Amino acid sequence: MTGVDLLRAGDRGWMVDLAPDKIASVVASARRQTWSCLVQDIVPAARSVLFRAHSSADMGPLATRIRHLIDTADAECAVPADRDPVIVPVRYDGEDLAGVARTLDCSVDEVIEAHAGAEHRVGFFGFAPGFAYIDGLPESLKLPRRTSPRPRVERGLVAIAGTQTVVYPGGTPGGWHLIGSTSEILWDPESEQPSRLAVGDRVVFRAVAR
């Protein structure tokens, strides 16, 4: 029997706290289960996953299946083997790039090399539609968010804070450090599948000429 605690979230929700490196595998595994028909929605966050059932009558069976899933989910199977990394070409021309380098006591080229050379994966979505929190920023680039957020950040701007990167979906406030931009469209609300990214996806940031 698993030692993981399930927390009741309303009449149809189970919340479970998880280590960040296990969230992607749990979400991916849950969506492949035959019992996923019991679940209306699965909502990953930084350190938790919410399972929302279609009916309160399903809560007991769902709890049993979630506990078993958490015990058996394999981090190596978080992303289907046939799913390619998402390549994001980045012009490292961000408004904050020089300031980031100064704060970290390194060169702009070293910032670019560290960011483009790291292993990045989508951790979860939140804050706004299409806002993917992408894990894997090297410790050498770790910075707190800006003290003064911008009131609006346009689509395609690449920014860092903490141990994460975000590619802004557009039209949101933003307190992250802008280091670059991309013309790649990762969030299109008019598309049948609005997001090109999914939890667990590997993301490769590739430096391109300005």
pLDDT (tens digit per residue) in 177-186 = 999 999 999 9
Structure tokens at 78: 């978080």
- pLDDT score of 1: 41
How does residue 172 score in pLDDT terms, banded at 50, 70 and 90? Answer: very high
Structure tokens at 163: 């141990």
What three-state secondary structure class fits 100? helix
Mean pLDDT over 84-106 rounds to 96
Environment class of 60 (CB within 10 Å of its CB; exposed 0-12, middle 13-18, buried 19+) = exposed
How does residue 3 score in pLDDT terms, banded at 50, 70 and 90? Answer: low
Task: Please tell me the distance from the alpha carbon of residue 163 to that of residue 181, in angstroms, as a whole number.
Answer: 19
- pLDDT score of 81: 52
Mean pLDDT over 131-145 rounds to 94
Helices (H), 118-165: none
pLDDT at 173 over 80: yes
Q: Which residues sit opposite 125 in a β-bridge?
A: 132
Environment class of 205 (CB within 10 Å of its CB; exposed 0-12, middle 13-18, buried 19+) = buried
Crossing angle of helices 20-31 and 59-72, in 10° steps, is 120
Mean pLDDT over 136-149 rounds to 94
pLDDT at 74 over 80: no
pLDDT at 79 over 70: no
- pLDDT score of 32: 82
- pLDDT score of 77: 52
pLDDT at 18 over 90: no
Task: Please tell me the distance from the alpha carbon of residue 163 to that of residue 64, in angstroms, as a whole number.
Answer: 33
Q: What percent of the chain has pLDDT over 70?
A: 93
How does residue 149 score in pLDDT terms, banded at 50, 70 and 90? Answer: very high
How does residue 22 score in pLDDT terms, banded at 50, 70 and 90? Answer: confident
Q: pTM to 2 decimals? A: 0.74
Give the residue, 126 or 154, on which the prediction is more confident.
154
65 DSSP 8-state letter: H
Q: Across 7-11, 52-56, 58-62, 148-152, which has the greatest mean pLDDT? A: 148-152
